[in-house]
Structure 1
Amino acid sequence: MPGTARVDARRNHDLLLAAAREAFAEHGTDASLRDIARQAGVGIGTLYRHFPTREALLEALLRSRFDALRDRADELSQAPAPGEALLTWLSELAAGSVTYRGLPESVMTALRDDRSQLHASCAAMRAAGGRLLDRAQAAGEVRGDVTAAQLLALAAGLAWAGEQSADPVAMIRQLLSIAMQGLATR
């Protein structure tokens, strides 16, 4: 019997993630958790047993995406042009952040609250971007007074602007081009 409980728990976990992915894509990160549970075919108590907070649910959905962004930062740290590597990473971060309306705000809020279940993933992503920033600054391609926290705030702002546009990726690309001119050393 215990094996059946584990299989059911795993199935419910997967159903909740699938329902959350769909709900957050359609309604943003403020989508109703009750509706997510209903869509998954489970009770709200089951949702809270698996994901005690909205941030825990978001973290579970975003973990692989954030891991990929950190891996991408590591990969780009070997690129010959540090400024271009930073631009590429920022573009990918901002473009990925428009997947769920409200995600940029959730990330920035989690970064300010080290008790948030989303905090560790966001902080690790900020650190990965910080390493790219440090490299671009050491190469003299980016101003030395820019911090990793400011960089993530910039990406969140770009993603928010993208959310307001009919073509989010194009908007992010245009604004990022402008921002990189401001980040460049003179």
Structure 2
Amino acid sequence: MTEPKPLRADARRNRARVLDAAETVFAARGTGAPTEEVAREAGVGIGTVFRHFPTKAALLEAVLAERMRRFVEEAQSFAAAEDPESAFFVFLGRWAEMSAAKNAYTDALAAAGADVPRLGPEIGAQVREAVGALLSRAQLTGAVREDVGVTELIALMVGAARAAEYLGEDAALRARTLGIVFDGLRAR
């Protein structure tokens, strides 16, 4: 099987504009927003959108993959932050918000009958490694309970992300709910 030809510079720019626009439109209007609106937001024709993403499901998958790529980069940068306690709790808050959005994409893909992409083993390992580094550093400073492991932390954050999704647009209620989870993680 031959490798696909790399995209020309203008095609790469158009693809990136479409992905950025799709993320903006889907965040504002939900994943059911029309593809034509994505094209308008990107400043390209609908044909350009479909040239890069033949179906709306393909566009949703690409947006989700890009979000996950950025999430891994963010996790790695937080793991190296100067203030481990602050980095730990700020990152977990972002994780809950990102996961709630990710759930909307995967739900839309499942509803469309498309295969829902899973974190590949490489991305999953990178997330676990970065979360493990964040957790270890926060535990060493005495900010987080010693009896919490990466597996328990990930399980808690999956639940917190579903809670954030369930609570919807009420930011104050989401913050209070996350605060309860965070209090349970803090060292006594």
Task: Tell me which interval the TM-score lies in, with the shorter structure as reference length.
Answer: 0.5 to 0.7
1:64 to 57, 70, 75: 70
Structure 1 contact 104–160 (Cα < 8 Å) conserved: no
Could you tell me how far apart the structure 2 residues matched to 1:138 and 1:68 are? 21
Is 1:94 the equivalent of 2:132? no
Paired residues for 1:125-136 under 5 Å: 125-136=127-138
Given residue 93 of structure 1, which amino acid in structure 2 is its aligned partner? W
Structure 1 residues 22 and 36: CA distance shift in structure 2, 3 A: farther
Could you tell me how far apart the structure 2 residues matched to 1:129 and 1:105 are? 25
Q: Deviations over 1:5-40 (max 9, x none)?
A: 714522441243134213431224xx48xx437843
Residue 105 of structure 1 and its aligned partner are, at CA, apart by 7.7
- If the length of structure 1 is used for normalisation, what is the TM-score? 0.63
Q: Deviations over 1:31-73 (max 9, x none)?
A: 48xx437843126453159x96854431224433542342123
Paired residues for 1:9-158 under 5 Å: 9-25=11-27, 26-28=29-31, 31=32, 35-36=34-35, 39-40=38-39, 41-42=46-47, 44=50, 46-48=52-54, 54-75=60-81, 78-79=82-83, 82-99=84-101, 102=104, 116=118, 120-158=122-160
- 1:161 counterpart residue number: 163
Structure 1 contact 95–172 (Cα < 8 Å) conserved: no
Could you tell me how far apart the structure 1 residues matched to 2:60 and 2:179 are? 33
Structure 1 contact 91–172 (Cα < 8 Å) conserved: no
- If the length of structure 2 is used for normalisation, what is the TM-score? 0.62
Structure 1 contact 141–185 (Cα < 8 Å) conserved: yes
Could you tell me how far apart the structure 1 residues matched to 2:61 and 2:121 are? 9
Residue 89 of structure 1 and its aligned partner are, at CA, apart by 2.2
Comparing 174-183 with 91-100, greater Cα deviation is found at: 91-100
Structure 1 residues 103 and 159: CA distance shift in structure 2, 3 A: farther
Given residue 69 of structure 2, which amino acid in structure 1 is its aligned partner? R
SS at match of 1:143: coil
Structure 1 contact 143–185 (Cα < 8 Å) conserved: yes
Cα RMSD, aligned residues only: 3.7
Residue 128 of structure 1 and its aligned partner are, at CA, apart by 1.5
Q: Deviations over 1:62-96 (max 9, x none)?
A: 43354234212311xx32xx444422321233234
Structure 1 residues 140 and 47: CA distance shift in structure 2, 3 A: same
- 1:110 counterpart residue number: none
Gaps of 5+ in 1: 107-114
Structure 1 contact 58–118 (Cα < 8 Å) conserved: no
Structure 2 contact 96–160 (Cα < 8 Å) conserved: yes
Structure 1 residues 124 and 171: CA distance shift in structure 2, 3 A: farther
- 1:6 counterpart residue number: 8
Could you tell me how far apart the structure 1 residues matched to 2:106 and 2:159 are? 7
Structure 1 residues 153 and 117: CA distance shift in structure 2, 3 A: closer
Could you tell me how far apart the structure 1 residues matched to 2:51 and 2:161 are? 33
* Percent of matched pairs sharing the same residue: 30
